[in-house]
Amino acid sequence: PSIAAIVPAAGSGQRMASKIPKQYLQLAGKTVLEHSLHALTQDSRISKIYLALSAEDTFFSALQLQLPIPVIPVVGGASRAASVLAGVEQARLDGVAYVVVHDAARPCLQADELSKVIDVALTHPQGALLALPVADTMKRSDAQNAVRHSVKREHLWHALTPQVFALQPLLNALVSLGVDHPELTDEASAIELSGGKPQLVAGRRTNIKVTQPGDEQLADMYLKFFAT
């Protein structure tokens, strides 16, 4: 089947409190985005990458990408789901059958976890996502941070990316729910809210999302470690 990656990179990175959006921070000699794109080229089944950028993006055109597959820019939207939808719609016009959605802000994705989640998605009708079993004791609090109760961590996972789905059911789910749906924080949730049960595939702890100050140092360390 024709498999393409979709990379939402249209976020402004407000949580990082930096002038440069997080996907353009430099780590180990390249931007976070370049590392994330490069990671996706490690599985040869991915034939191209749709990259959702903000209409105001002034950073991407300055990059000198060196990738073995085409990167097709599309204009992203006001939400992550809107940005993903823009990529999925273009991919559908190009006859793509499966999409591998990966955060621009996850530069440390490794080849083995990428291949594993694609393998599972191709045999599982409702798709698959990388995820990490929760290791800490979990608490739910009230608005003042007082513990209300502990949450059983059994069968509890952190959802990561890539998340891999057949294109048409994902497109249908995003369109029918609407990209401003408050519970649409990843693509699996679109499938779930439409009644599907995507399969969780254990990923690596190193596949972090560069979100908060300090994350970029950790990602930088992982990337340098992988390169040795």
- Site residues, ligand C5P (CB under 6 A): 8-11, 23, 52, 76-80, 83, 103-105, 209, 211
Nearer to ligand C5P, 79 or 191 (CB): 79
Nearer to ligand C5P, 78 or 135 (CB): 78
DSSP structure class, residue 59: S
Nearer to ligand C5P, 10 or 49 (CB): 10
Backbone CA torsion sign across 144, 11, 107, 4: positive
Report residue 147 as tokens: 């513990």
| Residue whose tokens read 């809210």 | 193
Shortest distance, CB of residue 10 to ligand C5P, whole angstroms?
3
Shortest distance, CB of residue 55 to ligand C5P, whole angstroms?
11
Shortest distance, CB of residue 164 to ligand C5P, whole angstroms?
16
CA 199 to each of CA 16, 64, 129, 187, 194: distance values in angstroms, whole numbers, following the listed order? 31, 36, 6, 12, 15
Nearer to ligand C5P, 167 or 208 (CB): 208
Q: Give the residue among 78, 95, 76 at the shortest CA–CA distance from 86.
A: 76
Q: For residues 134-145, b (16+ Cβ closer than 10 Å) or e, as one string?
A: eeeeeeeeeeee
| Residue whose tokens read 């599907």 | 196
Nearer to ligand C5P, 159 or 221 (CB): 159
Evaluate whether 208 touches 107 at the Cβ level (below 8 Å).
no
Report residue 4 as tokens: 């393409």
